[in-house]
Amino acid sequence: DLMTEMVGEFPELQGIMGRYYATHDGEPAQVATALDEQYMPRFAGDMLPQGKTGQAVAIADKLDTLIGIFGIGQIPSGDKDPFALRRAALGALRIIIEQELDLDLLEMLQHAAEANSGLFDNKDVVDQVFDFMMSRLKAYYHDTGIAPDTFEAVLAQRPTQPLDFDARLKAVTAFRALPEAESLAAANKRIGNILKKSEETIPPQVDTSLLQEEAEKAL
């Protein structure tokens, strides 16, 4: 519908008119609905596509846009984001997480890059887009009250499935609320400080023959 005079005059009707045109032309209902849902979410807090076809098209369109624009070097900087890439990134992530879709973001970005092969020479585009989307994910969770260091702890493991990332984040947040968490963190910090000051070579594995106390062996 982007080429129609209706959408040309009223851009906010993109997708909506596509649904009406498709219905008029006798397209299957799920196809007509997907033509509308592919643009969701259109703004922060907007509803997400509910149909599987709409979800698939919406995610594919957003990732294709991100890969293509990053591929030609038009990376958002500061307040400048003429292609609304931040919205596209967050939209794709919201669909995957909030609709509980078991998808691997890195794999999908690689497929998108392969589909655009030959159009640009940026060999780092997949990693660039992935890191960009992780920065948007951090802002998304910050707005929900997730502590930045909790997010960074999960990000350090570099999970590539947003739904898995969400589950890990919730698990770490729940653990941090336990009384035992503070003691474990303090012990870990103390061990780290001891190792930093140690002048000896730290063996890669524990020599169990040196353990004598039952508590040591249990640990």
Instruction: Please state the domain extents for the chain.
Output: 38-196
pLDDT digits (tens, 9 = 90+) for 132-163: 999 999 999 999 999 999 999 999 999 999 99
Measured from the Cβ of residue 117, the count of other Cβ atoms closer than 10 Å reads: 8
174 close to 124: Cβ distance less than 8 angstroms: no
Q: What is the mean pLDDT of the chain?
A: 93
Q: What is the pTM of this model?
A: 0.83
CA distance 3 to 23: 17
pLDDT for res 9: 95
Sign of the dihedral defined by the CA atoms of residues 56, 57, 58, 59, in that order: positive
CA distance 148 to 151: 5
pLDDT for res 171: 95
pLDDT for res 29: 96
pLDDT for res 72: 94
Partners of 80 in beta bridges: 77
pLDDT for res 28: 96
Q: Which among 29, 38, 27 has a CA at the least distance from the CA of 60?
A: 38
Each of the 219 residues of the chain gets a pLDDT tens digit; together they read: 889 999 999 999 999 999 999 999 999 999 999 999 999 999 988 999 999 999 999 999 999 999 999 999 999 988 899 999 999 999 999 999 999 999 999 999 999 999 998 889 889 999 999 999 999 999 999 999 999 999 999 999 999 999 999 999 999 999 998 988 888 888 888 888 888 888 778 777 888 888 888 888 887
- The backbone region for 14, taken as left when phi is positive above 0, alpha when psi lies in -120 to 50, beta otherwise, is beta
pLDDT for res 7: 94
pLDDT for res 66: 98
